[in-house]
């Protein structure tokens, strides 16, 4: 064995401190240094928000009255942009107490544009305001210093603007928010226009894969037609890969979302079905007051086949909530995450200090996920105040 001189001993000491491996040649008494490979990243992080409702005004916000949605959403985006300098709460969850630093996705669950009923601006105007705030205004980066990806799904207001509604709208139809989402998320070779977009065939649904997680973004709600696309999409996904669903509607979907089963199946003020999803409603007396139990059972059957679907993120009925969905027959347990709206929050509309979005961290080494409520207007008198943390939930994706 070759004796180590003091210089070599010093190199070994340094190598121990910086995790460098030293290899020695007995005949040449030389050393080569091989740097240890970088640590493998197992963390996925994203922001989840919903229901921007451009076109509405908020009764009170940061000391002002009747505040336009573009101002409220700009304030929300500003707080999202501040996240890299914020640490996760010490709640025992994924990355508890550690700096956030990066963000892989910002995800919105729709209702970008409010429905164009009396006094509400056109969807085209609303979509342009959304582009300014969420496409051009977000400055976040992912771990590799690339721009954070924005993912959007449509809400019922977006779809109604595109296909019409049983109450008067001005203009009667404006599909711009749907067209914008379609082009932004699906990136077709030939972008859709007002002249070529067709809601019947041009659904905004797509999927993304990141660090062993399959993200599925759905067109409004997983009705029987949407599940055809979902089945095809999942056919290439391993049964051990965790799947997260993102949709606008609550899982216990309302009857009015379905295609009118009566008469000539039109959108009309008598039946009040909105024809938002292709499936014709078939439950109860075929009115919008009926429970959609048959339709929900179809979704439950799908979940029982695809047991790697681990969570369902949604908007529509807006407040921060983590819950287990078991309807309609209490024979399913689906982790659900409901997000607040900056404009129509069930609680934050009257109390702006409850305005929130959600910050999600997933550790794929342990398959644990933590969803945290991020309060971005807890001190309205001081708009520059840092975000604070509300409740959180953690569960396993195994």
Q: What is the 3-state secondary structure (H, E, C) of 44-98?
A: EEEEEECCCCECEEEEEECCEEEEEHHHHHHHHHHHHHCHHHCECCCCCCCCCCC
Q: Return the ∠ at Cα 325 (arms to 217 and 228), rounded to 5°.
A: 40
Give pLDDT tens digits for 348-371. 999 999 999 999 999 999 999 999
The DSSP code sequence of 118-130 is: TTPPPHHHHHHHH
pLDDT at 336 over 70: yes
What was the pLDDT predicted at 14?
32
- 11 and 111 in one domain? no
Distance of alpha carbon 397 from alpha carbon 146, whole angstroms: 27
Same domain assignment for residues 197 and 230 = yes
Is the confidence at residue 26, as pLDDT, over 50? Answer: no
> pLDDT value at position 40?
75
Higher-confidence residue of 5 and 32: namely 32
Separation CA 308–CA 263 (nearest Å): 40
Q: 318 with 190, same domain?
A: yes
Q: Which of 1, 108, 88 is nearest to 43 (CA)?
A: 88
Whether residue 17 sits in one domain with residue 55? no
Note whether 50 and 31 are same-domain residues.
no
The reply to whether 18 and 94 lie within a common domain is: no
Looking up residue 197, the CATH number of its domain turns out to be 3.60.21.10
Query: Please, which pLDDT band fits residue 111 given cuts at 50, 70 and 90?
Result: very high
| Residue 44 neighbours by CB under 8 Å, 6+ apart | 104, 210, 211, 213, 360, 361, 362, 364
Cα–Cα distance between 20 and 36 in angstroms, integer? 6
- Position 16 scores a pLDDT of 33
CA distance 120 to 138: 26
The count of structural domains within the chain is: 2
- Cβ–Cβ under 8 Å, residues 289 and 301: no
Average pLDDT over residues 268-277: 98
Asked whether residue 55 falls in the same domain as residue 32, the answer is: no
SS3 152: strand
Residues 117, 178 within the same domain: yes
CB within 8 Å of 33: residues ≥ 6 apart: 15, 20, 21, 22
Which range marks the domain in which residue 142 is found?
A: 42-396
Q: What pTM did the predictor assign?
A: 0.90
Based on the domain organization, do 23 and 47 belong to the same domain?
Answer: no
pLDDT at 19: 34
Q: Are residues 9 and 120 in the same domain?
A: no
Q: What is the mean pLDDT of residues 89-101?
A: 96
Site of tokens 């070759």: 2
First CA to last CA across the chain, in angstroms?
A: 50
pLDDT, one tens digit per residue, over 290-321 is: 999 999 999 999 999 999 999 999 999 999 99
Domain check: are 141 and 215 in the same one? yes
Q: What is the mean pLDDT of residues 325-340?
A: 97
Considering the domain architecture, whether residues 338 and 204 belong to the same structural domain is answered as: yes
What's the rounded Cα separation, in Å, for the pair 221 and 45?
24
Residue 30 has pLDDT above 80, yes or no: no
């Amino acid at each position: 064995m070759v004796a180590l001189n003091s210089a070599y001993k010093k190199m070994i000491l340094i190598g121990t401190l910086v995790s460098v491996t030293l290899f020695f040649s007995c005949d040449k008494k030389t050393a080569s240094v091989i740097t240890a490979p970088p640590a493998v990243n197992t963390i996925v992080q994203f922001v989840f928000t919903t229901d921007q409702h451009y076109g509405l005004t908020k009764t009170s916000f940061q000391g002002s009255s009747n505040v336009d949605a573009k101002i409220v959403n700009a304030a929300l985006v500003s707080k999202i942009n501040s996240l890299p300098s914020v640490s996760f709460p010490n709640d025992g969850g994924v990355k508890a107490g550690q700096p956030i630093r990066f963000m892989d996705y910002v995800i919105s669950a729709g209702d970008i544009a409010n429905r164009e009923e009396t006094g509400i601006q056109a969807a085209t105007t609303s979509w342009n305001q959304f582009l300014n705030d969420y496409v051009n205004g977000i400055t976040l980066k992912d771990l590799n210093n690339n721009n954070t990806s924005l993912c959007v799904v449509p809400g019922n207001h977006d779809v109604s603007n595109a296909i019409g509604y049983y109450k008067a709208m001005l203009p009667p139809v404006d599909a711009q928010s749907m067209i914008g989402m379609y082009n932004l998320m699906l990136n077709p070779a030939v972008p859709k226009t007002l002249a070529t977009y067709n809601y019947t065939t041009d659904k905004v649904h797509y999927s993304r894969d990141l660090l062993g997680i399959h993200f599925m973004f759905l067109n409004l709600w997983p009705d029987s037609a949407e599940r055809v696309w979902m089945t095809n999409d999942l056919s290439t996904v391993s049964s051990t890969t965790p799947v997260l669903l993102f949709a606008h509607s609550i899982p216990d979907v309302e009857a009015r979302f379905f295609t009118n089963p009566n008469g000539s199946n039109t959108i009309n003020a008598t039946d009040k079905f909105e024809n938002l999803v292709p499936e014709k409603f078939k439950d109860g007396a075929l009115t919008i007051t009926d429970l959609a139990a048959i339709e929900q059972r179809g979704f439950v059957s799908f979940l029982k086949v695809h047991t790697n679907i681990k969570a369902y993120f949604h908007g529509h009925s807006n407040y921060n909530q983590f819950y287990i969905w078991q309807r309609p027959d209490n024979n399913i347990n689906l982790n659900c995450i409901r997000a607040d709206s900056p404009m129509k929050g069930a609680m934050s509309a009257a109390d702006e200090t409850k305005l929130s979005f959600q910050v999600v961290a997933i550790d794929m080494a342990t398959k644990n996920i933590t969803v945290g409520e991020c309060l971005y207007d807890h001190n309205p008198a001081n708009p520059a105040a840092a975000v604070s943390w509300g409740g959180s939930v953690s569960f396993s994706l195994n």
